Amino acid sequence: MKQMLTNYKIVIFMLAGLIFTGSAVAEPDFYKVRPDSVRAGATLILREKPRVRHSKRLGGVPYNADCLRNLGCQGGLSAEEAAKLSPANQARRSRQSPRWCQIEYNGLTGWIQGRFLAESLTPSAKCVATK
């Protein structure tokens, strides 16, 4: 009986996590700018809102930036859509509803399109220590 209650608690905890995050896929703690997404010397625009139109520019993120703290993402393809759709339909769907990620970088918080980001392989402790 005690084991059964423990198992129920674990299941409830996991479901609460899914409801809170809206996803079963874990997101990284930190991102870096994808090297192949921006030309050397360019700067990504950090935006106030997760959209291009009618969104104030808050600052810039250099093409080689690392340790961008992930504050959450929205939009884009779900894992289910990515598995079911053809590459052409995935591209069309991504254009219709791009993925935007809220990040913190050098004291600024704002939104960048997810297509420019990749998981940072820099240890989290190093990223936290450099802030």
Locate 60 and state its tokens.
């810039």
Letter string b/e over residues 27-62, b meaning 16 or more CB atoms within 10 A of that residue's CB = ebebbbbeeeebeeeeebbbbeebeeeeeeeeeebe
- Report d(CA 13, CA 56) in Å as an integer: 38
Q: How many helices (DSSP H) and strands (DSSP E) are in the chain?
A: 4, 7
Under DSSP, the state recorded for 34 is -
Residue whose C-alpha is closest to residue 29's, from 116, 120, 113: 120
Q: Which of 20-29, 69-78, 121-130 has the highest mean pLDDT?
A: 69-78
- Domain 25-129, second-level architecture: Roll (2.30)
Residue 82: what pLDDT?
80
User: Residues 74, 125: contact at Cβ < 8 Å?
Assistant: no
- Predicted confidence (pLDDT) per residue in 1-25, tens digit: 555 544 444 434 444 443 344 445 6
Which structure tokens are listed for 116? 């420019």
Q: For 83-124, what is each residue's pLDDT tens digit? A: 888 989 888 888 888 999 999 999 999 999 999 999 998 877
H/E segment holding residue 18: helix 2-21
